[in-house]
Structure formats: structure tokens, C-alpha cells
A = this chain, B = another copy of it.
Amino acid sequence: MKIENPTSRDIADLAGVSQATVSRALRNSPLVRPETRSRIQEIAKELNYFVNRNAAGLRTHHSNTIALLLFDETGGEETQINPFFLSMLGYITSAAARLDYDVLISLQQLHDDWHIEYQASHRADGLILLGYGDYRTYKEKLAALAAANTRFIIFGPIIKDQPGNSIGCDNINGGYQATRHLLDIGRKRIAFLGNTTRRCPEFADRYRGYVKAHEAVGISPEASLKVDADNLEQLGIHAVQSLLDGGESFDAIFAVTDVVAIGAIKALQERGLSVPGDVSVVGFDDVPLAAHVTPALTTVQQDTRLASESLVEAIVGLIEAKPVESTQMAPQLIVRESCGGRS
């Protein structure tokens, strides 16, 4: 029994019931007599029938789809997506699938027209925003989203006056842990690699943690040890070069991101310096490959699985009009080999 593109009406005919009953049966409505229901479901299975999502969506005004917007543009043109966010993708998709949602992905440029469109066109019921972005351009877009009544949830820090809800990690705490570890193993001159302006609030918070850790041990960090670069991917390499070429002395590096830290290690080694012999390095994120570089990278781990699941729960909550709160999760220092010292 093969029908090209079976509809609920085909099944109704075959089962000798009305199309409405088929629809009810397939959605497991308790209104339908159990025997009828299972008979209908069997026929559906045999015909390889699946509910037409467009028709159902048109009727119900739900797409059962979440749009995942990835943006990653703290730097150059052809930037690869940060592996950190990529690693969340799997968890997000699985969590969404468990709640019966599909995931639509979209790479965003920050200058893009931020796709109020997704929800307005009924392609998605809500959005998850993922990426280290430039907060300045960011904020007004969020306001536009909010104004259009779009449901969205941001992976990132909680920022006063920022529209919408955020789920992220406690970056101050993370920066503190990283820096404190370096200080505790006896490092004194710790370079900070990353942007610390309001542009990148998570990085600014990591820097605040860095300062706090210094204060806790009674050292004041030196401004000359703070280095930034336009492009996050190049930052590690460029920063080490400029530090070294500037004759700056330092015995440790706290990099704002694992990708930066790995670049820095590379650059140090190329200049004949040993990690952790001469310089200790700590990163942030615990990217999948952090454990595999040499030396294995000590870093601050964000629980991406928990974050991903929280994001999905939050957006689904928003879709179902349940109350949702912004939350912060505690990051955890993972000690590996790139710092040396006692561990």
C-alpha cells in the first residue's frame, strides 16, 4: 500500500473515520477511543505518513523550531566560529530534540539585520543568541528584537539595561580563579590578553576578576601588561610578540579565551621560551582541544552542557509563556600543564 504523499484524509479513508478523528488520534488525544487510535496510528506508520508541519504550523501558529543565531565577529572577516560555541551546538540540538523542537542555524554578522524575521515569518518560535559580540552594536539590535515581541535568550553576561534574558557564567569569578592560581604558584607579572572595554562585557569581567585576585594578594597589576588586538584569532600571537618586542618582562599570561591562549603558547615557543618553564599560561572556555595541545592548557571551564540545556529550557519557557530568569553559573578552574608549579 503506497500513496505518494499521504495526507490525513488518505488515512481517514483507509480507516473509515473522519479526517478530524485522524488528526486527533495522531496527536494522542484522549478524546479518541484507544482502539480507533491505535488502528489509525498503524495505518499512518504503514503509509509512512508524517504530519505536514506547514499545515500544522499554519493552524497552530507554532513552528516548534528554535533558531540558533551564531555571531562571532570580534575580529576579522572570514573568522571561523569559535570552537567553544560550536561545542555547545551539539548540546543545544540534543536538548531541543528532547523537548520536541527543531533547531535552525544561522550565522550572523553583527552588522546584519538581525532577523526579527525568524519569528515574524513563523520559521522559529524563539531565538538563542550565541557568540562573543561587540556589545555596543549589539544593544540596539536587542532592543529591536524586544520591540518586535521576539522571544530570545542570550548566552552571555547579565548586563544592566540590556533587553532580554541572559544565561552565562560568572566571568569575574572565572577571571579571579585563573589569576589567583597563577599568583598562588608564585607568578608575579601576569600579562592579561584581551579587550577590557565595555565593548566586550564578558572579557571586561574577566579582567575585573584578574584585578581582584591581584588585590587579594596585595599586588597591583600593571597597565603595560594588558594587551589587546583587533582580531581575537590573532590576538595571542600578536600580543606575545609585542610584549616581547617591547622588552616587557612577564612570567605568566591570562588569556581571555583558549584560542588566544593557544596562539600565545605557540608564539612563546617560537621565541624559544618554555611553557610553563618560563611563562605560565591560563586560558578560558576549556575548548575541546585545550586538553590536547602541548602543554595541555590550564583553563577556566564553563559548563557548556549545562549552559546549553539551560538556554533551551529558557527559550522553550519563554515560548510557553512561563517565567524565565537570567542566571549565572560558576565556572571551574581546570588545572593541566601549562602553568607548572604545584597543582
**Contacts from A to B (Cβ < 8 Å):** 48-55, 57-58, 63, 65, 80-81, 83, 86-87, 89-90, 93-94, 97, 102-107, 116-117, 120-123, 148, 262-263, 265-266, 269, 288-289, 292-294, 296
Q: How far is the CB of A239 from chain B (nearest CB, A)?
A: 15
Take A294-B265, A294-B266 as given contacts and tell me if A48 and B120 are in contact as well, using a CB distance cutoff of 8 Å.
yes
Residues of B within 8 A of A48 (CB): 116, 120, 148
A298 to chain B, nearest CB (A): 15
In the complex, what residue of chain B is closest to A295 when comparing beta carbons? B294
Q: Given A54-B54, A293-B289, do A94 and B122 touch, yes or no (CB 8 Å)? A: no
Contact assessment for B90 and A107 in the assembled complex, using a CB-CB cutoff below 8 Å: yes
Q: Is the CB of A93 within 8 A of B122?
A: no
| A150-B126 Cα distance, complex, nearest whole Å | 28
Interchain CB contact under 8 A, B51 and A54: no
**Cα-based distance from A48 to B121 in the complex (angstroms):** 10
Whether B81 pairs with A83 at a CB distance below 8 angstroms is no
Task: Let me know if B106 and A102 touch, CB within 8 A.
Answer: yes
Determine the distance from Cα of A63 to Cα of B86 in the docked complex, in whole angstroms: 26
Q: Are A292 and B293 in contact (CB under 8 A)?
A: yes
**A120 partner, pick from B50, B83, B262, B265, beta carbons under 8 A:** B50
Q: A67 CA to B38 CA in the complex, in Å? A: 30
| Given A87-B80, A90-B80, A122-B52, A103-B102 contact (CB < 8 Å) | no
Chain B min CB distance to A306 (Å): 14
A271 to chain B, nearest CB (A): 13
Q: Which of B49, B57, B262 contacts A289 (CB 8 A)?
A: B262
Distance from A231 Cβ to chain B, minimum over Cβ atoms (Å): 15
**Contact call A107/B93, Cβ cutoff below 8 A:** yes
- Residue from B53, B58, B263 within 8 A of A55 (CB atoms): B58
> Which one of B58, B93, B103, B294 lies within 8 Å of A293 (CB-CB)?
B294
Contact of A288 among B53, B83, B106, B265 (CB under 8 A): B83
Closest 4 CB pairs between A and B?
Answer: A54-B57, A50-B121, A54-B58, A50-B120
Which residues from chain B contact A104 at a C-beta distance below 8 Å?
Answer: 65, 102-105
Contact B121 A52 (CB under 8 A): yes
Distance to closest chain B CB from A59 (angstroms): 8
Inter-chain CA distance A238–B116, complex, in Å, is 49
Q: Please, how many angstroms separate the alpha-carbon atoms of A109 and B268 in the complex?
A: 41
* With known contacts A107-B93, A262-B292, A53–B123 Cβ distance under 8 A: yes
For A89, the chain B residues whose CB sits under 8 A away are: 81, 86, 89, 105
Contact, CB under 8 Å: B51 / A121: yes
Of the candidates B86, B102, B103, which one forms a contact with A86 in the assembled complex, judged by CB atoms under 8 Å apart? B86
User: Could you give 11 example pairs across A and B, Cβ below 8 Å?
Assistant: A48-B116, A52-B58, A52-B122, A53-B123, A54-B54, A81-B90, A86-B89, A89-B105, A262-B292, A265-B294, A266-B292
A105: chain B residues within 8 A (beta carbon):
89, 93, 103-105
Contact (A263, B288) CB under 8 Å given A52-B121, A121-B52: no
Q: Closest CB of chain B to A150's CB: distance in Å?
A: 10
Inter-chain contact B121/A53, CB cutoff 8 Å: yes
Smallest CB gap from A87: residue in B: B80
State in angstroms the CA–CA spacing of A90 and B108 once bound together.
Answer: 10
